[in-house]
Amino acid sequence: MLTFLWKFTFSNVLIISCCHNYVDNLDKPAIAKYFNTKGRYEEVNLHLIKDILAVNRSILQPPSANCQEIHLTAIIRHGTRYPTIKNVKEMKQLYNIVLHNASGQESWLHEIQTQWTMWYTEDMDDMTEAAFYLCAYEFAIKAVNSPWCQLFDEDDAKFTILTGVCCCFRNDVSHGGNPNIPAIAKYFSTKGRYEEVNPYLIEDILAVNRSILQPPSAQCREIHATAIIRHGTRYPTSKNVNKMKKLYELVKSRASGKESWLREIQTQWTMWYSEDMDGRLVQKGVNDHKHLAIRLFVQEVENNPSALSEVDKFKEGPEMRRFAIKTVNSPWCQLFDEVDAQVLEYANDLKQFWKRAFGYDINSKSSCILFHDVSGQQVTEAVTVQVGHAETLLPLLTLLGFFKDSDALTSTNYDTQTQRSFRTSHMLPYAANLVLVLYDCGGGDLRLQPLLNEKPVTFPGLTDQQASMPLYQDVKDHYRELLQGCDFETECQLFKSPA
């Protein structure tokens, strides 16, 4: 089978297509346990297949009956999600090759060619972001309260900025204040107008707020000013224009309802953004800098320099989706036997090992801030939850020393790595989680229990401690070097000043 895979160099696409289609028990692909970061959470907790809410209480045995949980920290990966646009394109390409060029008598091939249909679409990628951008750009560039803005209320806007995902579209938005300004304008992040951070400029674009600077003495005078300034208002990039076009076509051709904003979009609004705009400054962007120059330098340097600091990137792509995907044992899965799957799993593990894990020391040091945040939590609440990605968890697990084998994974030692502990299929399925439970066992006896995917694990280097629940102080002592050092700025400083 692998000859076919390598010939078309689509092995990763196939395993994605396969692993997004399965059911439990006998209809489950035999290779499901090798799906790396595309695996179901149930594959690492098989008891959940029969009862998704089952809790295996037998795995936790505190050292004393007096122990009780007093705090829990959980770091959780997002749940099962659709493939990315990039992977959908590759899957479509492979499907067309198999549909039109493959020959043979295999039943799985016949099923793919006659029964299976390509149901994955590029619009499974997040459309909420496109709608949010349409609202933001329409306001920033044209100063209009676009009908696109009425898809959101304030809570939706906040949620979109934080996660890149919105749970629903709204049609009951009420606008307070100026009806020409979208109620969610202050949540446009990097797509917002400068006026939203300095509202007094709405009435007078050249106004200078002299009250915010109070020099310590009347003798103080300006002798120099340095300003770091971002570009002014600009058109969306070609990438975002394509997203907007896709959303517009979907709304225009498929959306139904009686809402006024929907009718306006479908009958009056036209898609005027084009790819050749690709990030170019609009006239307002030119004026943004002219007005700023007048306020900063012509009117003396008495404006607010901190207002010029802004976040540079919006979190892109579909994030933390909460959808279930078809559960069928797809004919794509029958392209592989178990040996094939083990080879593909190793190839993916090899990539993760060198890109995000033990391959290079800097990989794990990128998690210094997260480790300090987790370990430095004040126990004021019962639970602390942070949600991220496989790329969040793996560097942290590496930093703590989990799943480190005696020999590094290389391209030449596959045969000797069959029993390796570094297996992303086990460590990082969808919804993977690292949980740290702090116990108070009485008399000042505090203990820390780590669990990965709801299973107890042992802190590396503390295996002589009672079970998997070492003394909290011993954990802090063990990781003292990381707690006191592991400075992100130092680790990521590429060029050091000469001594």
- The DSSP annotation for 300-321 comes to -S-S-GGGG-----PPPS--S-
Tokens linked to 484:
């006191």
Residue 383 bridge partners (DSSP): 72
Query: Is 4:394 a contact under the CB 8 Å cutoff?
Result: no
**For residue 299, which amino acid is it?**
Q
Tokens linked to 346? 């190793």
- CA atoms within 13 Å, Cβ hemisphere of 344: 31
Q: The tokens 């951070």 sit on which residue?
A: 197
CA angle 165, 170, 172 (to 5 degrees): 155
Distance CA 347, CA 333 (A): 18
Length of the chain: 499
Residues 389, 95: Cα–Cα separation, whole Å: 29
Smallest Cα–Cα separation from 109: which of 326, 292, 335? 335
**Which one, of 136, 128, 152, 157, lies nearest residue 243 by Cα?**
128
Q: Is the dihedral of CA 369, 371, 375, 380 positive or negative?
A: positive
Does the active-site annotation cover 231?
A: yes
Quick one: tokens of 313?
A: 């990137």
Q: What is the DSSP string of 48-67?
A: GTT-TT---GGG---SSTT-
Upper half-sphere CA count for residue 392 (Cβ side, 13 Å): 19
Residue 41 CB contacts under 8 Å (≥ 6 apart), including other chains? 48, 79, 429, 430, 431, 432, 453
**Distance of alpha carbon 388 from alpha carbon 163, whole angstroms:** 10
How many CB atoms neighbour CB 254 within 10 A? 7
**Of residues 71, 110, 175, 231, which has the active-site annotation?**
231
Q: DSSP strand E in 292-432: where?
A: 383-388
| Rounded-to-integer distance, Cα 420 and Cα 113, Å | 38
Cα separations in angstroms, 55 against 59, 68, 227, 377, 385: 10, 18, 57, 26, 19
* Neighbouring C-beta atoms of residue 445, cutoff 10 Å: 15
**Angstrom distance (rounded) from CA 201 to CA 203:** 5
Please give the positions annotated as active site. Answer: 231
